[in-house]
Structure 1
Amino acid sequence: MIMHRYWIPLFAVLSCLVATLDASVGDSDPLYRACVGQCEKTGCVGERCFPHCKFSSDGVSIDGPWYMQEPLYMRWKQWDCQSDCRYNCMVERENQREAPGDGPVKYHGKWPFKRVYGIQEPASVVFSALNLAMHFHGWLSFFILLYYKLPLKQDKKGYYEFATLWHIYGLFSLNSWFWSAVFHSRDVDLTEKLDYSSAVALLGYSLILAILRSFNVRDEAARVMVSAPLLAFVTTHILYLNFYKLDYGWNMKVCVLMAVAQLLIWGIWAGVTRHPSRLKLWVVVFVGGLAMLLEIYDFPPIYGYLDAHALWHAMTIPLTYIWWSFIGDDAKFQTTNLVKKFEIPFGQKTITLQRWDCK
């Protein structure tokens, strides 16, 4: 009972703290709110007007004739009257704040970014797309290494026993970075949930893979026993975010915990086993840990484009190349260890044979 008395006020204080941190100064500004309200009535911000802000007598938006509608590259992003009013009022208010030297503030939980062809966060979109391309390149290189450069079994399968797990990891990575690019391009409820769910799924699977590889779990039954609890937790967390509450604070804690756990596992395993490519792995662990600080140390976008989150995406591009290089080295290292060379004298010559030991 005594512990409950302490927990209740503690949670109350933390809740107030989180609420304070999440509050946005920009959207509570009276001038900004007045601008949005006026825009939604008139369809104009200053001299700029929006055709899709015109409404009929029953309140239904009138798109107007085809020459008055937004071009396709804008319409597919579903910019509506409210979002356009908020964006243009934000731009106008930031210009007013910049004149006396005031810094930018957040609006509806986000920093004021400048659109490029209707894309909300162009830098994050570009870096997400580059991460997607880098993962595809790494995965394709890993595939070619396994099935075209390293020896194969009689059934044409590779000797690297963790190959299937890395193939699945490649699919999770491509999916996650694809939805990251889509979400940063246009932030709506659907793209937000897809981005968050894909990131959680990738982190959860990466943690499972780190445990299986570092502890060299090869038996299928043992892999299922190790993976099942984590799979259940990750699945429950994704369902919670999508169908109950999209809790940003709780999701951040879960993601940071899973990320830190796997970084520690990989770093310790590389040192204990003295892996030949441990330097590559340590670079990924160390720089990846530093990059995570960008998610904590948030700052306004530079020139309206480059913020802390975009820089984090940028730092992961070279790390992705090094990471897939390590995966390839691990496959070569394990395959090489399966080869036992021995020599047999044959007359005046010596024949060198190879035997593959799959144990």
Structure 2
Amino acid sequence: MGIRLVVALLSCLVGVLIEASAGDSHPRYQVCVEQCKETGCVKDKLAVDGPWYVQEPLYLQWDCQSNCRYHCMLKTENEREVLGTGPVKYHGKWPFKRVLGIQEPVSVAFSLLNLAMQFHGWLSFFILLYHKLPLRPQTRKPYYEYAGLWLMYGFLAMNSWVWSAVFHSRDVDLTEKLDYSSAVALLGYSLILAILRTFNVRDEAARVMVAAPLIAFVTTHILYLNLFKLDYGLNMIVCVAMGIAQLLLWVVWAGVTRHPSKWKLWAVVLATSLAMLLEIYDFPPYKGYVDAHALWHATTIPITYLWWSFIKDDAKFRTTDSVKKVK
């Protein structure tokens, strides 16, 4: 299942929310954006030897439209604050303040911390497999039958967090597609892994039979999103279906297995469910930086640690059982 799985699922759902909002629908904001694009002037930012948005340092530069939207949003929000009204969304997003050109700096920071936690989990799992647990005498490979599958899961999870950080840094068409594609790839692979582990599929031919159709489906869906149409509604249905399927597999398996660390699996499920309340209780960013989504990213850090702890316990449990059978 994995905490990044749920993050990936929520990433799939974000797109359906990005539509006309109260902020960008306001005539004052629309006039400001049009004036900015024509004259390069927003309030006190006057054009001197060219528009202001080409005079900023290179690492801060966005395209003209994005910069105009950003500064007009700040101007509109300042006016709303004077009038005593609260923040509203613009183009489906809350009004965030940039730091060094980064669109959502706190979400980026927590995404990178999650990336670090995934790497720590993956590395400690690798060390456990090849340096702490016994290896098969003939092949020097782990006894744990799912070692390679979990190592690949770690790569996909880290890849997904990388593009999450990039997407929160700068929301453009390319970064959006990369974030969506990595999320879908992780969801699809996690579903395959959930089926193989919960049903204890160890035969290579059987694994191929399970994985092949799902890989074909996920690949086709990713190509459709990138090359034909970024269909938010279709993507939501696909992600929800894959997410719920594997969630149910892990929950049912935790209920029937005698695994000694199944309590960690239950803890991950419970903690994730509670953390998701932050996504439901959506509030504007405090001081323009910290919103519910950023805090939710923060909660995933300790949950990721617990998830990798369960994976390592599973490796120990299965290895001990396999060594006993060999003896």
Fold match (TM-score > 0.5): yes
| Aligned counterparts of 2:16 and 2:124: Cα–Cα separation in 1 | 46
| Aligned counterparts of 2:49 and 2:198: Cα–Cα separation in 1 | 56
**Deviation for aligned residue 1:151:** 0.4
TM-score of the pair, normalised by structure 1? 0.81
| Aligned counterparts of 2:306 and 2:65: Cα–Cα separation in 1 | 44
For residue 118 of structure 1, give the secondary structure of its aligned residue in structure 2: coil
**2:86 aligned to which of 90, 97, 103:** 103
Does 2:63 correspond to 1:93?
A: no
| Aligned counterparts of 1:315 and 1:259: Cα–Cα separation in 2 | 19
Question: Is 2:41–2:51's contact at 8 Å kept on the other side of the alignment?
Answer: no
2:110 matched residue in structure 1: 127
**1:113 aligned to which of 82, 89, 96:** 96
| Aligned counterparts of 1:311 and 1:98: Cα–Cα separation in 2 | 24
Q: How do 1:190-229 residues align onto structure 2 when only pairs under 5 Å count?
A: 190-229=174-213
Question: Gaps (5+ residues) in structure 1?
Answer: 1-17, 56-60, 64-68, 341-354
Moved more, 222-231 or 161-170: 222-231
Does 2:243 correspond to 1:265?
A: no
**Deviation for aligned residue 1:186:** 0.7
Does 2:26 correspond to 1:40?
A: no
| Aligned counterparts of 2:127 and 2:162: Cα–Cα separation in 1 | 23
For residue 151 of structure 1, give the secondary structure of its aligned residue in structure 2: coil
Q: Per-residue CA shift, 1:183-231, capped at 9, x if unaligned? A: 1001111111001100111111111101100000001111111112222
| Aligned counterparts of 1:195 and 1:51: Cα–Cα separation in 2 | 37
1:330 matched residue in structure 2: 314
| Aligned counterparts of 2:48 and 2:249: Cα–Cα separation in 1 | 55
Question: Is 1:266–1:285's contact at 8 Å kept on the other side of the alignment?
Answer: no
Residues 1:251 and 1:52: Cα distance change in structure 2 (over 3 Å): farther
**Deviation for aligned residue 1:291:** 3.2
2:230 matched residue in structure 1: 246
For residue 116 of structure 2, give the secondary structure of its aligned residue in structure 1: helix
Question: Is 2:42–2:72's contact at 8 Å kept on the other side of the alignment?
Answer: yes
**Deviation for aligned residue 1:147:** 0.4
| Aligned counterparts of 2:64 and 2:113: Cα–Cα separation in 1 | 32
**Deviation for aligned residue 1:146:** 0.3
Moved more, 163-172 or 223-232: 223-232
Moved more, 117-126 or 288-297: 288-297
**Deviation for aligned residue 1:53:** 5.8
State, as a whole percentage, how many aligned pairs show the same letter: 71
Give 1 or 2: higher helix fraction. 2
| Aligned counterparts of 1:50 and 1:265: Cα–Cα separation in 2 | 59
Does 2:145 correspond to 1:145?
A: no
Question: Is 1:50–1:81's contact at 8 Å kept on the other side of the alignment?
Answer: no
| Aligned counterparts of 1:52 and 1:234: Cα–Cα separation in 2 | 50
1:136 matched residue in structure 2: 119
Count of residues in Structure 1 that have an aligned counterpart in Structure 2: 312
Residues 1:289 and 1:230: Cα distance change in structure 2 (over 3 Å): farther
Give 1 or 2: higher strand fraction. 1
**2:154 aligned to which of 162, 170, 177:** 170
| Aligned counterparts of 1:180 and 1:20: Cα–Cα separation in 2 | 17
For residue 333 of structure 1, give the secondary structure of its aligned residue in structure 2: helix
2:60 matched residue in structure 1: 74
Question: Is 1:40–1:53's contact at 8 Å kept on the other side of the alignment?
Answer: no
Q: How do 1:245-324 residues align onto structure 2 when only pairs under 5 Å count?
A: 245-324=229-308
Does 2:27 correspond to 1:30?
A: yes
For residue 83 of structure 2, give the secondary structure of its aligned residue in structure 1: coil
CA-based RMSD of the aligned residues comes to 2.3
Q: Per-residue CA shift, 1:204-263, capped at 9, x if unaligned? A: 111110110000000111111111222222122212211222222332332233222222
| Aligned counterparts of 1:19 and 1:171: Cα–Cα separation in 2 | 28
Amino acid in structure 1 at the alignment position of 2:35 = Q
| Aligned counterparts of 2:179 and 2:26: Cα–Cα separation in 1 | 30
Residues 1:46 and 1:287: Cα distance change in structure 2 (over 3 Å): same
| Aligned counterparts of 2:49 and 2:107: Cα–Cα separation in 1 | 28
